[in-house]
Structure 1
Amino acid sequence: MTALQIVRLPALSDNYVWLVHDPVSAETIVVDPAQAAPVLDALATRGWALTAIWNTHWHPDHTGGNAELKADTGCTVIAPAAEAAKIPTADRLVGEGDVVAIGGHRAVVLEVPAHTAGHIAYHFADDAIVFVGDTLFAMGCGRLFEGTAEQMFANMQRLAALPDATLVYCAHEYTLSNGRYALVAEPENAAIRHRMADVERLRAEGEATVPTTIAAERATNPFLRAADARMLAERRAAKDSFAG
């Protein structure tokens, strides 16, 4: 199967919008469009036509471009069923185990609540790709705005069980600050120190640090590596007030 083409589009202050194109079917989707303008510009530059929007959760920095993109392109909006009331642009509502597709590439919906009550992820098993929104970050996890540490711990365990090579597409450039906390959470972890050297170099050069991989997160992410929900809760509370 021909590989999907994935384009990173910076938006707002630190968001990443993911534009995904299947060259066989010529279908194009966008994951969590914070704004419409970067997406429309990228579509015009590449000559692609937008087929659908896939939202992972309702927050405005993930759905802010929905209405304009839908009006301009006629695309379909796919969104978490549990957040239907907060995503009025949604056309199709999905939940655990539902399948969505771009061309011949199929993604299974994973329910991963905690950052928001109805947060979902999209897992392309055959492509070894997962779009995780604000649930998993490079060396971090989302804040517990609408859920519990127990839920987030279950999410981390579920994502950690994916194959090592799975590419993780998250929605923010938080790696530098996450890594600084990871060094405090696990000061003896040499893998974190080695990774941070690369992260600091990339950010100094203005380069992105994502996508990441499940293998990298399993080695360096203090939330994915938490032994239980209590440890995750302690680490999340510490990170929330971390000033490093």
Structure 2
Amino acid sequence: MSSNAELHTLKQRTDNYAYVLRCRETGLCAVIDASEPDSVLELLARIDGRLSLILNTHHHPDHTAANPELVARTGAPVLAAPWSGHAGSGPDITLKDGDPIILGRLRGTVLATPGHTLSDLCFWFEADRLLFTGDTLFSMGCGRLFEGTARQMWASLTRLRALPADTLVLCGHDYTLGNIAFARSLDPHNAALLEWEATVRARKAVGALPPHPTLGLEARANPFLRADDPDIQKSLDMPGADPSDVFAEIRRRKDHFTA
């Protein structure tokens, strides 16, 4: 992360994450996927931040519920892909793949990542090595396929996997320990996975939020990013299968998994 980027993580609802990204030079802030406005507004006051962008990775209410209050209190516009009418009035500015995000001196890029929904987006701040993934990619997991197909989701995940390994994954929910339990059911001796579990449990034991994983760690330990890995294919009795089909089987098993 560059010296000009300041990142704040907010736990909201039961397991949601919202993020505030601040440009230190200008004080301008973006909030990503907020569901509860009060903690966002309190943070902005504490860090002397001025909200200039409200970003949503997708239209589900647990990622957009804070929008009306934040707009009313700050006048900041909502930026997102077009979403269906049941989700409210929709974004003020619609985004598509490749669009720039300008936040003071910080520069990001919109990545279209269909799968969880057909219009899911991720926000990639290359110079700062920050990737806001919403419900496309979680720590050791990925989102359910509510609208898209397994082939679409696998393509989206491999697109993210190709980004630099030192990129921080900033996901929409803390499902980490449940995801780790499932990952261990497929790959019980993965050293990176076991080490990550110990790190997460140690942080939670003292009441702290889990750390954000890197894409490099996810590539080594997250089974949803490893559908083309012969070891994962072997564990599923699918050696040599199309990775999209392997991914579909991993997703099916996770949907029915109980620790």
Amino acid paired to 1:52: L
Deviation (angstroms), 1:88:
1.5
Instruction: Answer yes or no: is 1:242 the counterpart of 2:243.
Output: no
1:79-228 to 2 correspondence within 5 Å? 79-81=80-82, 83=83, 85=85, 86-227=87-228, 228=243
Gap change, CA 1:138 and 1:15, over 3 Å in 2: same
- Letter of the structure 1 residue corresponding to residue 128 of structure 2: D
Partner of 1:53: 54
Map 1:4-83 onto structure 2 (within 5 A): 4-81=5-82, 83=83
Deviations 1:13-53 (A, max 9, x none): 01111011101122111001111111111112222221110
Counterpart Cα distance in 1 of 2:138 and 2:25: 30
Tell me the secondary structure at the aligned position of residue 224 of structure 2: coil
For residues 93-122 of structure 1, the C-alpha deviation after alignment (integer angstroms, 9 at most, x for no partner) is 011111111012111111001111100001
State the secondary structure of the residue aligned to 1:70.
Answer: helix
State the distance in 2 between where 1:233 and 1:208 align: 30
TM-score by length of 1: 0.95
CA distance in 1, matches of 2:90, 2:195: 43
Residue pair 1:100, 1:109 contacting (<8 A) in 2 also:
yes
1:150-173 superposed Cα distances (whole Å, 9 cap, x missing partner): 011111111110111011111111
Q: CA RMSD in A?
A: 1.3
Deviates more, 1:201-210 or 1:50-59: 201-210
Unaligned runs of 5+ in 2: 229-242
CA distance in 1, matches of 2:89, 2:114: 20
Measure the CA separation in 2 of the matches of 1:200 and 1:26.
Answer: 34
Q: In 1, are the aligned partners of 2:4 and 2:106 still within 8 Å (CA)?
A: no
Deviation of residue 84 (structure 1)?
A: 5.9
Instruction: Give SS of 1:196's match.
Output: helix
Q: Rate the CA distance shift 1:193–1:116 in 2: closer, same or farther, 3 A.
A: same
TM-score when normalising by structure 2: 0.90
Count of aligned residue pairs for this structure pair: 243
Residue 87 of structure 1 and its aligned partner are, at CA, apart by: 4.8
Gaps of 5+ in 1: none
Shift of 1:210: 3.8
4+ residue runs over 6 A deviation: none
Deviation track 1:40-78 (CA, whole Å, cap 9, x = no partner) reads 111122222211100100000100000010001111110
1:124 to 1:84, Cα distance in 2 relative to 1, 3 A: farther
Q: Relative to 1, partners in 2 of residues 1:89 and 1:36: Cα closer, same or farther, differing over 3 Å? A: farther
